[in-house]
Amino acid sequence: MKERATVEQIDAVVAHLIEMGFDIHRSKGESRTVIGAVGHGNGDTQLIAIQDGVHEVLRITEPYKLASRSFKPENTVVAIGDVLVGADEVIMMAGPCSAESEAQVEATAAAVKRAGAKVLRGGAFKPRSSPYSFQGLGEEGLIMLRAAADRHDLKLITEVMESSQIDVVERYADCMQVGARNMQNYSLLRDLGRARKPVLLKRGISATIEEWLLSAEYVLAGGNKNVILCERGIRTFESYTRNTLDISAIPVVQQLSHLPVVVDPSHGTGRRDKVAPMARAAVAAGADGLLIEVHNDPDHARSDGAQSLFPAQFERLMAELRVIAPAIGRSICVEPVARRGWSR
């Protein structure tokens, strides 16, 4: 629509598009409103072009529509409670791979909070490659995670594996994670489109960026506009690292889409000593946040211990990121530095 299009003109265009059989998604930007018409409407769209207040009618050529920058030129900022992902600040999400016990969740939450994380991560429903591996504590784990997040004023992100878990996960979590193995679970994605909490969508282990954005489209098309993308490494011929972290996905996604993108260097490398270098690279490349596995006693973790940082390593990484983020015009949690006089 034109910059000065009136509400009546916008409503008239919307009504016309609905009459033609399209699903309508409005995006109100700073200067103008974009009306997304999705689906198989019929009729001559040139009739829309000559309506009052219309600036132009564009065909979005990408197969994903609502996720594309052509539909919404401004960056989307996703609010996890009062934590904004995609704004100026690089958001740190950290915690154990899985909730294992109250003591473990508490010790890890306290440590990541002290270092400057804003969101506690931790799985209660775990998608494990082997059916014999620890499958998570279920709702009991959610209760532990929620309590620790509240005690330390952290938001909580945790994984939802199937549609039947959405209600319970939404009751405890502030953001729902869709794991790499579930990126193409389209019925789950469709159901998350009707959920109220934001969704963090991991890239599938062999998914192209286009397939990943099409998965985001399922959630957006269902009406949930709060989607965060998460690059977590893809499977390649390289076997030294657990996965190959695709840092180039960050600028590519930022060009193709308005959605925020965060990086998980823990699953991306699978090796504790490689997590910090890739985390630094991700922030330098423009990631909106990081999702990192930290454990109070990683050598005895029930899942992903080898890639989990010791709390002291996470603190050190935070100190490094506080140097890198401002170099590219971003901020990162600085409060603990001031509080602890942490300039060494």
Which residues here bind ligand PEP, judged by CB under 6 A? Answer: 97, 123, 127, 179-181, 202, 232, 264, 267
Of these partners, Mn ion, ligand PEP, none, which one is at the site of residue 118 (CB under 5 to 8 Å by kind)? none
Collapsing DSSP to helix, strand or coil, 80 comes out as strand
CB 34 within 8 A of CB 27: yes
The yes or no reply on residue 304 touching Mn ion (CB under 5 A) is yes
Encoding tokens for residue 45? 């769209």
Of these partners, ligand PEP, Mn ion, none, which one is at the site of residue 86 (CB under 5 to 8 Å by kind)? none
Distances (CA, A) of 206 to 140, 202, 278, 304, 315: 32, 11, 20, 20, 32
DSSP string, 165-232: GHHHHHHH-SEEEEPGGGTT-HHHHHHHTT-SS-EEEEPPTT--HHHHHHHHHHHHHTT---EEEEE-
Give whichever of 180 and 253 is closer to Mn ion, judged by the CB atom: 180
Q: Which residue's CB atom is positioned nearest to Mn ion?
A: 97
Least distance to ligand PEP, CB of residue 229, Å = 12
Of these partners, Mn ion, ligand PEP, none, which one is at the site of residue 232 (CB under 5 to 8 Å by kind)? ligand PEP
d(CA 266, CA 309): 9
DSSP string, 9-42: HHHHHHHHHHHHT-EEEEEE-SS-EEEEEES---
Give whichever of 127 and 336 is closer to ligand PEP, judged by the CB atom: 127
Of these partners, Mn ion, ligand PEP, none, which one is at the site of residue 235 (CB under 5 to 8 Å by kind)? none
Give whichever of 65 and 295 is closer to Mn ion, judged by the CB atom: 295
**DSSP 3-state helix, strand, coil percentages of the chain (rounded to 5)?**
40, 20, 45
Give whichever of 85 and 180 is closer to Mn ion, judged by the CB atom: 180
Least distance to ligand PEP, CB of residue 232, Å = 4
The yes or no reply on residue 264 touching Mn ion (CB under 5 A) is no
d(CA 110, CA 256): 37
Question: Which region, judged by CB under 5 A, interacts with Mn ion, from 40-48, 170-178, 244-252, 297-305?
Answer: 297-305
Give whichever of 10 and 99 is closer to Mn ion, judged by the CB atom: 99
Distances (CA, A) of 102 to 90, 99, 133, 135: 28, 8, 20, 17
Q: How many residues bind Mn ion (CB under 5 A)?
A: 2
Least distance to ligand PEP, CB of residue 25, Å = 28
Give whichever of 169 and 220 is closer to Mn ion, judged by the CB atom: 169
Least distance to ligand PEP, CB of residue 98, Å = 7
Give whichever of 202 and 322 is closer to ligand PEP, judged by the CB atom: 202
Least distance to ligand PEP, CB of residue 242, Å = 9
The yes or no reply on residue 97 touching Mn ion (CB under 5 A) is yes
Collapsing DSSP to helix, strand or coil, 310 comes out as coil
Residues forming contacts to Mn ion in the complex (CB under 5 A) are 97, 304
